[in-house]
Structures are given as C-alpha cells and as structure tokens.
Amino acid sequence: MLITIGMVQKSWGVKGEVKVLPLTDFPERFKDLRRVYLVPPRGSEKVCRVLSSRYLGGQPLLLLEGYDSPERSKALAGWLIKLPREEAMPLPEGQYYCFELIGMTVCTEEGEKLGEITDIFETGSNDVYVVKRGRKELYLPATSEIVKQVDRKARVITIHVVDGLLD
C-alpha cells in the first residue's frame, strides 16, 4: 500500500525541478527521499528516483530521474507523490495515521461491536470517525473521553459510550 506525501504543483526552473505541495505533517521528509512513486490522475504509479531535493521558501523542490527538463517535468503537474506504507514517519505514542484506523472494528467497553471505521474527517477541535453500523453511519468524536484504547494488532478501537452518542 502506498501513502500520499505530496502533489506536484508545477515545473520549476531550467533543470526541470518540480515544486511540491506537501500533503504530510512531516514536510522535512522530502530532503532525504531517494525514490518516490508518481501517480497520475488516471493510470498506475511509476517508481522514480529522486536525483536531488531542496527547499525554496519552505516548499520542496525535487529533481526526478527522467524529468530533467522543464518540458518533461511540466507533464507531472497534478500527480501525487507516494511512498510505501512501511516508510511512514513514526508517530508519537497515542497518535495514528488515518490509513491505520480505516477498517478497524469499533467496540464498546462492554464488548458490543458497533461497526467498522470507513472514513475520518477533521473538524476544528478533533477528528471524527465515521463508523458503518448496518445501514447507518455513526459519527464518533476522536477524543480521550470517547476513545479509550486503540489496539493496532487486533485492529480494534474500544470506546466509552456517553449519553446520546449512539442515538
């Protein structure tokens, strides 16, 4: 599985570097890349070696093998830059990537199975887990009051049910 870390915005300069919009909480990770997977809007990914990387005003610029001219790199605008899931940056204890949580089973502290996480969206204060429960969707605030345990191995999230949560 590949994870998205950025998107090519446009060709930059005479060498054919591409300006990247970081789609990661770790924009510094672009400086050490050796290879990436380029994914066009339509089609399958292709592996590409990173020849060099630098930053301009905090924004990553990459020089990619095979795209060493402005004309060639211009074609990459809008393509996603991805890495294998195993290369995800480690997170602090208690934090999780969305791709880790999607598909996990949600259970109450009493052991009742509520459903499976199908989506996650951000609000101003906290994430919200969308749980498919039969034909309905349940929206769980991802707060310490509600989410009591995330078991990555068992792929189970245990929640505390408060009044009105399951209505």
| Annotated domain spans of the chain | 2-87, 98-159
Q: What is the pTM of this model?
A: 0.76
Name the residue type at position 105: T
Superfamily of structural domain 98-159: PRC-barrel domain (2.30.30.240)
CATH for the 2-87 domain, from 2.60.40.1930, 3.20.20.140, 2.40.50.140, 2.40.30.60: 2.40.30.60
Name the residue type at position 40: P
In the numeric block, which tokens belong to residue 123? 């609000």
Digits of tens for pLDDT over the chain (167 positions)? 899 999 999 998 889 999 999 999 899 999 989 999 999 998 889 999 999 999 999 899 999 999 989 999 999 999 999 999 999 898 888 889 888 999 999 999 999 999 999 999 988 889 999 999 989 999 999 999 999 999 999 999 999 999 988 87
Q: CATH topology of 2-87 equal to that of 98-159? A: no
